[in-house]
Structure 1
Amino acid sequence: MSQNKDVTIYDIADALNLSTSTVSRALKNHSSISKKTTLKVNEAAAKMQYTPNILASSLRNNKTNTIGVLISRINRPFMSDLISGIEVVAQKAGFNVIIAQSHDSYEDEVNMCQALYNSRVSGVICSLAMETKDTDHFDQFRNKNIPLVFVDRVPKTFTTYRVMIDNYSAGFKAAQHLIEQGYTRIAHIAGLKFRSIYNEREQGYRDALKKYNLPEEDNLIIHVKTMSYEEGEKAVNKLLSLENPPDAIFSSNDTTAVAAIQVAKSRGLRIPEDFGVIGFNNDPISRIIDPGLSTISHPAYEMGKISSKKILKHLKKSKNESITEISFLNTDVIIRGSSKRLKD
């Protein structure tokens, strides 16, 4: 036998003068095969360096014990924590994880969706691309009863599992914290308005201003496409160049909030005395920047664990059971030096 040729159950069967079905069952420790034969088959398999062909098996069974994870960008701390949570549960259950990135592109998301479907994944966990409005490309999973979990960036109308936070409440708490610290003219850097999580955070911010009778001005709200540092810089420079600039900013992620701190400092503003900043996510950078960035906790790791558990639980269900569960996780205000100017 060629050294480059993979050993198959046919080779083991020939070597032991057994049928392939007997070898196959013995390798699975099937009760119908005697312990003596099972031991003999497994010893031969080890000696011949046999490894099972998982791909071939999955093609036969139309099942791969693999969870597909489709996210915007893997280099975002929130996404890496989310993936860690997904993997720890999936691997413990004997499942592998395939990760695909959309780079916040609708077209890439559609293509990656098809690639995961073609790979016969057992389930899919997805955080939508920033550009995505139409979710028809996910219908193929639902039509085949392949469990689908949307996490964080979720569609409004697609009926399936969803794992999310109360973004409205989180936005309200962020703005309220700034108000309680004595800031009176609070701006907001938001994501694209059709993406529900950013729309809900913005609404929470607006309602907090209304509650405390503070100005709610559209020119103090800037929507950005990808929530990048560069977009944050541009937005903050625009806000601070207004004739009546803000004295604080609530930003919908930590990356643009860090940009706000650095732009404000470059303009000679003292943080938090002259200008307050609060972000969102509690990324590692929020603890490194000087002063430390106040932020909203975003339990990505726990969201990942719950998402995996929903996939695994669904795979044990009957085909006709509902898949409309929504899981809400709590958030907290984490107060650091960028916004704390009043003593407790």
Structure 2
Amino acid sequence: MFEKEQHIAEQAQLLLNKELTAEEWKTLYAHLALDYADMLADMKFLTKVSDRLHNKLSLINEEVIKHSTELENAKKLISIQNEKLERKVNQRTSDVRNAYSQLLATHSELDQFVYRASHDLKGPIVRLLGLCQVANLEVKDPVAIEYLQRIGKTSSEMNNILENLLYINTLKNEVAEPSIFDIVEVTEKVYQALGFLSNYSEIEFNIETEIAKVDFYTDIDIFKTIIKNLFEFAIKHIDPIENRKSYIQVQVFQKSTDIEIIITYNGIEIPTSNYHLIFNLFHKVANLDEATGTELYTTQLAAYKLHGSVILLESTREKTTFSLHLPFFDKK
């Protein structure tokens, strides 16, 4: 466009030359007129394009203004929604805190109730056991003696259940105090202390380790509870099949940061459908008088207390296997 203007200016300058003939002047003027007409046509075209662009820009500007307004409105709406949501969150948080406080209070009250109820019931049951013992010495009637023995047996079962409930309540609130001790030595002593159970003398006990002494760092009393309850459960549920030697086998595997204890015995088969139920409180695998239904619940609770776990690996007519996994205890 600028080249045409420059060309027209040069031609106009030539027309001012006095040395041109009339014919040359006429020819230059004709060319100048044509070039000027082309330039005017180009300017009209560019003007139309400019008008169209201007209109397009106006429409775009209107759209931008419209979207900006919508965006501002959306921001205001989001701000209002955020305020409402924040109020709801604060309300819900407050509700959760209140519910948690109530839950803690209820839990504490329940613990106190279990402790007081168990403690208060234990006295009459102990007195009832004492009366049964005295009556057995004085009563001579066989029928009366049989009833007294049944009452004594039931009272003894209730006493065991209450003792277990009291210990469970204590265990829930107990703080673990770890120390180093020999797993093998403690495990053998725990088993030897269960000699009062009826099936004890019929069982062959064996413990296997990779090394003679296995030192471990955890709470020794809670560990004893775990092992005692697993052994007690195994002894009570030994399957009395004729011509079959009963056994309990313990395998200890020590790793760098944890330990695994496998306890296997030939006891009453636990159905697969009951695997997830056996650790529930008062769930009985079999209708045995000696079983209280608290052994495995207490075992799992104690294992959690030491940041470990106990699971039933398998249970068949030939053998039942439990696995106890415990890490080196870390108070943090």
Task: Sort the TM-score into its range (normalised by shorter chain).
Answer: under 0.3
TM-score by length of 2: 0.23
TM-score by length of 1: 0.22
If each structure's helix is expressed as a fraction of its own residues, which one has the higher value? 2
Tell which structure's C-alpha radius of gyration is larger: 2
